[in-house]
Amino acid sequence: MPTISEINARFLHYIQSLDQQGADKLISNCLKAGLPPEQIITKIIMPAIDAIAEKQKNREVVVAQIYVMAKIAENEINKVLVEMPIKPRTKGTVIIGTPMGDYHGLGKKLVATFLRLADYQVMDLGLSVNHFDFVNMAIAFNAKIICVSALLLHTALGITEIRKELDSRGYNHIKIVVGGALFNFNPKLSNKYGADAMAPNALDAVRVVRELAGDF
Ligand code: B12
């Protein structure tokens, strides 16, 4: 059995070569070999996406390539997520989505899954969500937390709109937690946009949600 870093290098090679079949076979073999799904996501798939992000920063790949690479990564994430245990949701409801105009969905999907594994009922509103919908759903489902996954600077203003809408309707006890590339680049932005907290990854997202919801 190759080491995790060897598997990661191979996975990166497959997505860089836009080889869906190779990636598929590799991840299937990892699952068959009994590698824990969480480890496959955090140690094999996510580091590969980070490496691609680095290449994009250095302008070594173009958006069309990133699109296909992200699609391959997403297919493999979906395959691994199916293997994760289904647990009863004993904690409260959390609303999650991306702000209007933001179609980056991989981080949101992972955060939603990790919250579900931590027993939260997660209402995933999907991509490019209007701020009214975030607020209406939070109120309707008695959620204590709204999670916003924001990767684009110009669409993150949607978070400020959610804050304003909550405050103007007297729901300022509902907390906003944010994450995504934007806040990993500059964590202070979370405060600027009116969020209560940020987390840099899906595991920390669970910790922050627990703290804000008062669940231990
Ligand atoms: C893949 C990708 C795409 C794919 C998205 C495919 C998909 N299905 O999601 C495609 C090709 C479609 C795309 C398009 C664009 N993209 Co793009 N994209 C990326 C890239 C390379 C990776 C994002 C990703 O999926 N990462 C993997 C996931 C797992 O990580 P993550 O999202 O960060 O999530 C983790 C944490 O951040 C955290 N987290 C995430 N959400 C949340 C939420 C909460 C509540 C919490 C607590 C935590 C949390 O936990 C997650 C898991 O650990 C980033 C670079 C980067 N550094 O992020 C650029 C990036 C986000 N894109 C960028 C841009 C500009 C664009 C485009 C405008 C086109 C372009 N010129 O590149 C379009 C815009 C499309 C739109 N309107 O949404 C810029 C944004 C810059 C900015 N400041 O606004 C980035 C940063 C690249 C760059 N360096 O320039 N992109």
pTM: 0.92
My answer on whether 154 and 122 are in the same domain is: yes
Tell me which residue has tokens 């509902």: 174
Pocket-testing residue among 44, 72, 104, 106, ligand 1, by greatest number of atoms within 8 A of Cβ: 104
Phi and psi based region of residue 199 (left: phi greater than 0; alpha: psi -120 to 50; beta: remaining): beta
pLDDT at 151 (0 to 100): 96
pLDDT for 24-44, tens place per residue? 999 999 999 999 999 999 999
Q: Distances from the Cα of 185 to the Cαs of 2, 69, 161, 200, in angstroms?
A: 33, 22, 22, 10
My answer on whether 138 and 207 are in the same domain is: yes
Q: How many whole angstroms from 110 Cα to the centroid of ligand 1? A: 13
Domains: count for the chain: 2
Which of 30, 57, 81 is the endpoint of a domain? 81
List the domain range (segments joined by +) for residue 29. 4-81
Cβ–ligand 1 contact at 108 (below 6 Å) = yes
pLDDT for 53-63, tens place per residue? 888 888 888 88
Which of 56, 81, 106 is the endpoint of a domain? 81
Q: Are 130 and 157 in contact (CB under 8 A)?
A: no
135 pLDDT above the threshold of 80: yes
Percent of the chain with pLDDT over 90: 82
Q: How many whole angstroms from 170 Cα to the centroid of ligand 1? A: 32
pLDDT for 173-204, tens place per residue? 999 999 999 999 999 999 999 999 999 999 89
pLDDT at 172 (0 to 100): 95
User: Whose CA is closest to 148, among 84, 194, 82?
Assistant: 194
Structure tokens at 215: 């669940």
Following DSSP, what letter does each residue of 124-155 receive, concatenated?
E--SSB-HHHHHHHHHHTT-SEEEEE---TTT
